A and B are shown apart, each in its own frame.
Chain A
Amino acid sequence: MSTGGVGTAFGEALSLILAFDHQVLDIALLSLRVSGLAVAIGLLIGLPAGACLAVGRFRGKQTLAVIANGFMGLPSVVVGVVVYLLLSRSGPLGDFGLLYTPSAMVIAQIVLVVPLMAAISRQVVEDAWRQYAEEFNAMRFTWSQSVRTLLHDCRYSLFVAVLAGLGRAMSEVGAVMIVGGNIDRSTRVMTTSIALETSKGDLPLAIALGLVLIAMILLLNGLAFVVRNWAMRRYS
């Protein structure tokens, strides 16, 4: 990159944001929709799964907890390839024709964020469970009643799991590139655009897009922080 490249990039990023560049806006919105949906669905799976790991008493519980922890860093490329093989026309789910659609990207990102959210949820719920277990047992809670009550009680702490999932989903490139195909105006998201501009050698534009992405993630985190604080104040 030429000297002052980063400066150029900042300028370009600013002008992209200020100009509200139509194409960049579409791409950013797709990123939000895909990752937001993946996190929303992943939350419905990951949080209860983590809570079950914390509360349940069954064989292999420790193993599952270790797996969930380990899979927090699941390589997104591997997830991409596996989901690709599943969704490919020659794969077991090929009849749905989902490959190279936003839905395929959502599915891959669900696989990425579920272990992450489950691991965090397990940790958070386990801490609460240690305090509550005896009294819940005295009240004869079934384990599913315990799981539901604990999830509700830990809702503010579980925000962290949601944010972590969102950050992971929005910043990964390996999986969406493979299963989405980076198709213009169809499956091109922020990260794949950045990869594309980098490979075209347009590093300033790549960094500018990167700055837009980082700004989006920061904005979401800030928003979540405000909402969480507001909600927490209602119930100390």
Chain B
Amino acid sequence: MANGILKRLVAAAALSLVALGAAAADSITLASTTSTEQSGLFGHILPIFQKKTGIEVKVVALGTGQALDVGRRGDADALLVHDRAKEDAFVAEGYGAYRKNVMYNDFVIVGPTEDPADIKTAKDAGDAFKKIADGGKAFVSRGDRSGTHSAEQRFWKAVDVNPVGQTWYKEAGAGMGPTLNMAAGMGAYTLTDRGTWANFKNRQGLAILYSGDPKLFNPYGAILVNPERHPHVKKALAETFINWITSDEGAAAIASYKLGGEQLFFPMK
């Protein structure tokens, strides 16, 4: 009896593993950022793309740094990320075949509505960061090598502040959402992309306090993972996606995504 049950179990387990492994015929893996996933953009544009081409895009949402690592290891077919300097290096080092401009959104600084550092009156983005540092007001950083983290680090550098190690500076080491949860819980400032903010529900006392400086613009690029380095990359399917998202049609789809009546991403077409 024990034997029979055992054999049936093994057979069933083997069968189901095979069944689970079977994926849709036409699909690509896209390593992207939490900002695009959590803002709801992909939920809006990917069904449009799939309807047209039949290609399913599987999105793994990470920080830009992690997404680039995933691409470097060959675990994705294409990337959609936002850190221009690192993207260019990625292509230059031969990990990516090429990079194309896709769209931009912008960063905003959110903080407690009382605005203790008074950044509402800041001259520009740099000034806003400087006011937070000078006032020693709590600021939560992503601290996860993401595109947002890189952008934030550029601003500190521009105003000659080294916040790391300061008591008011907290590194979350987490995605945008958890970082916003932390800032909301602590009543702290943080830098976020507008899309994630727009879709974020646990705001508590937080509000957008500074936005609009062109330096806060946040461009996204699409990269094809280099098939010469990773031969298993689904080049044709991935290129279909990159060509579509950078086409007029893709641009229209991006522009048509609105949250609360507000357009979050602007195609660079």
Contacts and interface: CB of A to CB of B under 8 A. Distances in A.
A90 B73 contact: yes
Interface stretch (A32-40, A131-139, A209-217): A32-40
A176 interface: no
A63 to B, nearest CB: 28
Interface in A82-103: 88-91, 94, 97-103
Contacts of B178: 198-199
A199 B74 contact: no
A4 B192 CA distance: 28
B201 A41 contact: no
A89 B10 contact: no
Interface size class of B (residues with CB under 8 A): 35 or more
Interface stretch (B57-65, B83-91, B143-151): B57-65
Nearest to B60: A181
A183 B232 CA distance: 20
Contacts of B181: 198-199, 201
B250 interface: no
B162 to A, nearest CB: 28
Given A198-B181, A199-B181, A200-B177, A88 B13 contact: no
Contacts of B184: 201
A98 B59 contact: no
Q: Which of A94, A106, A151, A184 has the most CB of B within 10 A?
A: A184
B176 interface: yes
A94 B203 CA distance: 42
A57 to B, nearest CB: 23
B21 interface: yes
A44 interface: yes
A148 interface: yes
A98 B184 CA distance: 38
A186 interface: yes
B133 to A, nearest CB: 26
Interface in B181-200: 181, 184, 199-200
A199 B16 contact: no
A33 B16 contact: yes
A223 interface: no
A106 B58 contact: no
B13 A44 contact: yes
B21 A98 contact: yes
Given A148-B2, A186-B58, A200-B199, A37 B43 contact: no
Given A106-B17, A200-B201, A89 B74 contact: yes
Contact of B17 (A41, A43, A152, A202): A41
Interface in B170-224: 174-178, 180-181, 184, 199-203
Q: Which of B6, B10, B21, B181 has the most CB of A within 10 A?
A: B21
A1 B178 CA distance: 14
Interface of A: 1, 33-34, 37, 40-41, 43-44, 88-91, 94, 97-103, 106, 148, 151-152, 181-184, 186, 196, 198-203
